Amino acid sequence: MTLKGRTLFITGASRGIGLAIAKRAAADGANIVIAAKTTDPNPRLPGTIFSAAEEIRAAGGQALPLAVDIREEDAVLAAVAKAEAAFGGIDILVNNASAISLTDTEHTPMKRYDLMNGINARGTYLCTQACLPQLKKSAAAGRNPHVLNMSPPLSMKQHWFAPHTAYTMAKYGMSMCTLGHSGELRQHGIAVNSLWPRTAIATAALQMIPGVDVNLCRTPEILADAAYFILTSPSSNTGNFFIDDELLAAHGVTDLGRYAVKPGNQNFIPDFFVD
């Protein structure tokens, strides 16, 4: 199975992990709906929906760049309608957009709390809800629909909450969508899974966190390759919380050296939420 002719609606696809997943799908000839906020270049966060569209087309796919704030219901519904008009429907939703603030309760303003929960948990729920009619049509047409949430396995241990309760709540909100929606949508033939990295991933957002050495990270392409295996599996493969290296190993990919930012490095920063 390939993604040729499939339409992917990817949130936060203007850069980083979302763009890497988009380009991997584009290599098969997929259609990519870029649902992200960045329309103007920013020296701190390189990449816009338009530059992403150019990269996706260069990789072999079609691209529809849409300026979307996934906290706004009307904007998301309008984007879904534009995706249907352009490509005839949506086969895959990748809930990738996310906000992060690794702050304790005293140093997390409610504006930041609302941002994280609005994008991560609510945005994932909203986009899934908005895309659901299209995903049902995809299932009826035998096009193997998937929802993939870029969120961690649920581990109710205090040490994953105490340093940054608000962020953990927001990311686990995405994972709770996986848990609930996989059960709810199984009857419709729609897969819902989560994917999360073992190690820190070198993204522009991560580089803005003080003290992070990106040379001790892996590149977004490891998640793109892992996501590809999920999205090309049968939609009966649902309700899983995949870890990138475990999933790749299950498909015979055990040499992960090409994903190291610094060639030859074996000492990676571990990501959060993986026990």
Altogether, the residues listed in the chain come to a count of 275
Contact 83, 90 (CB under 8 A): yes
**d(Cα 206, Cα 204) in Å, to the nearest integer?**
5
Question: Which member of 167, 172, 228, 259 is catalytic?
Answer: 167
Of 24, 31, 14, 27, whose CA–CA distance to 85 is shortest?
A: 31
**d(Cα 87, Cα 216) in Å, to the nearest integer?**
40
**d(Cα 247, Cα 120) in Å, to the nearest integer?**
23
Largest Cα separation within the chain, whole Å, is 51
**d(Cα 70, Cα 94) in Å, to the nearest integer?**
13
Active site residue 259: no
CA 32 to chain centre: 13
- Catalytic residue ranges: 167
